[in-house]
Amino acid sequence: MNIDEQVEYFMQGTEYGDENLKKTMAAELRERLVLCQKEGRPLRVYCGFDPRKADLHLGHTVPMRKLKQFQEMGHEVSFVIGNYTSLIGDPSDKDVLRPQLTPEEVQTNAETYAEQAFRILDPAKTKIRYNAEWLSGLTFAELIKLASNFTIQQFLTRENFKLRWDKGDAVYLHETFYSIMQGYDAYSLRADVQVGGSDQLFNIMTAGRKIMTSMGVLPNIAVILSILPGTDGVVKMSKSLGNHIPINTDANDMFGKVMSIPDFAMGSYFRLVTPLTPPEIAAIETGVKEGTLHPRDAKMKLANAIVGAFYSQAEADTAQQLFIETFSKGAIPEDIPACKLVAGQSIVDLLVDLGLAKSKSDARRLVDQKGVKFEGEAVDSPSAVLEKEGVLQVGKRHFLKLVK
């Protein structure tokens, strides 16, 4: 790609909340690409990830996908594990104080991050860095100098801090350190570009750029990405809300979950979590709009692209074929797991024991909503007892063969 095509590619899926700001960042990105070309070096690009949980879902991988795009164009990518910032916890998207993790908890979670990230990023082209490398060595005098770039008002006008302040809830001083620490990350890496979600706008645009400028280096260019909605297509993807798509799953499950998203959410998913280029996505959306491409087929292209990025293309194609046979044609998969029937056990207890329902109330809800079928027939009572061998289906994607 030439420089203009790279700018379009890298700005795909971005969201700044201000069109003029987006244009400014795109212009700066183009200028930096020109500068790097003259200097004969790649862009230095990074994104930070705080290991506050061990498992990641598809929403967490949005910035990883953007880093991958920079790798594809030959730029230098650093994957920064925030083992020091995690000790505070980013307050950007929370209206309550985050619990502080211990160094041991952070390290345990961090060990899984690189492994999961390499399902998208090229390990040979990725620098793994831990921000304790530079943050742990800061002196108190250096912290004072960094903090002098900011006012208390700047922090108190941030939406989540303001909400807590107005409610009379505590806003702790150490929470303001987070933005300063992240800004120092960008300076330490001499980053040309920092990638982050729209909840990171203050941390990157205000803190990072201000600190880098005050330290006498070129400020980082913010590539701010939209937040991926969950499978409901509306609310931010979250494990706690149950609308997430885990990446530590299997190809069939991931394919099925992507196919469950509403049609109107396809554009966000195409732009944020697939390797497709802007012209390729535009062609798909035009086809759907003009009626030459059925929305279902467009969604299959989406699911295939996402699954193929995490697994092999062969596994993505197999998952697609299984989906077509199972859900489009109403067939039952041939290779399904088996479990033993327990004499006298109700369907509610069976679902909970098998992990197909979180609780008995959840199991009863599934039955009442006709979401549980045995041998193709809906189970009509939560107290029903299954006594013969057969195929149990829960929801659209879970099949079990019950045997004595």
pLDDT, averaged per 10 consecutive residues of the chain (404 residues), comes to 93 92 96 96 93 76 92 95 77 52 72 78 91 93 93 82 83 85 95 92 90 95 92 83 83 90 91 88 92 91 92 91 74 69 84 83 85 81 83 78 80
Other CB atoms within 10 Å distance of the CB of residue 258? 24
Predicted pLDDT at 307: 93
CATH number at residue 351: 3.10.290.10
Reduce the DSSP state of residue 238 to 3 states and report it. coil
Cα separations in angstroms, 249 against 60, 64, 191, 362, 379: 15, 18, 33, 22, 28
21 and 163 assigned to the same domain? yes
Predicted pLDDT at 353: 85
Predicted pLDDT at 161: 80
203 and 276 assigned to the same domain? no
206 and 129 assigned to the same domain? yes
342 and 322 assigned to the same domain? no
Q: Has residue 381 been placed in a domain?
A: yes
CATH number at residue 317: 1.10.240.10
Q: Has residue 291 been placed in a domain?
A: yes
Give the domain-ending residue among 286, 302, 328: 328
Residue 344's domain comprises 338-403
271 and 379 assigned to the same domain? no
Cα separations in angstroms, 331 against 20, 210, 328: 52, 59, 8
Contact of 195 with 67, CB cutoff 8 Å: yes
Q: Please state the domain count of the chain.
A: 3
Contact of 222 with 204, CB cutoff 8 Å: yes
149 and 277 assigned to the same domain? no
Angle at CA 197, nearest 5°, toward 123 and 220? 75
